[in-house]
Structure 1
Amino acid sequence: MVSDSDQGCPKCGHTETEVDDIATSGTGLSKLFDVQNRRFRVVSCANCGYSELYRGDSSNNMIDLFLG
């Protein structure tokens, strides 16, 4: 069980992550014309697959937020 003082995945406590980038379309005309103008960084637990989405491009800060 993961306590508040432990670091790691919020679900399983594992400390290894995988980082990917995704792009999505918004609403309205960008969706109609399939313009992928919204970018996110996905930080996932390498053990259980739990994932969080973050706006922006700085992966180091996002991994720190994910692991606590």
Structure 2
Amino acid sequence: MSEQGCIKCGSTDADSKDVAMTGTGLSKMFDVQNNQFTVVFCKNCGYSEFYNKQASQASNIFDFFFGG
């Protein structure tokens, strides 16, 4: 399998971080951050993709980001 790189700039230099966000309704009103995501971003151009943390596995995220 060959790495295709970032879909915007072609770079293969990426990183990830976990983030939490509020939803809608009461969770937004009370600032309850119950939605968790892993963000994969290109270090060259900043292009980012969000992945639902509960539905994804860290080992597969980079492969998906790079079109693997």
TM-score (norm 2): 0.86
Residue type of the alignment partner of 1:13: G
Match of 2:65 in 1: 66
**Whole-Å Cα distance in 1 between the matches of residues 50 and 3 of structure 2?**
22
| 1:59 to partner: Cα distance | 1.9
Please, which runs of 5 or more residues in structure 2 have no aligned partner?
none
| 1:60 to partner: Cα distance | 1.9
RMSD: 1.5
Number of equivalent positions: 64
**Whole-Å Cα distance in 2 between the matches of residues 52 and 28 of structure 1?**
25
Percent of counterpart pairs with the same letter?
56
Match of 2:45 in 1: 48
Match of 1:20 in 2: 17
* Contact 2:3/2:12 (<8 A) preserved: no
Structure of higher RCO (CA pairs closer than 8 Å, 6+ residues apart): 2
SS at match of 2:11: coil
Residue type of the alignment partner of 2:63: D
**Whole-Å Cα distance in 2 between the matches of residues 23 and 58 of structure 1?**
17
TM-score (norm 1): 0.86
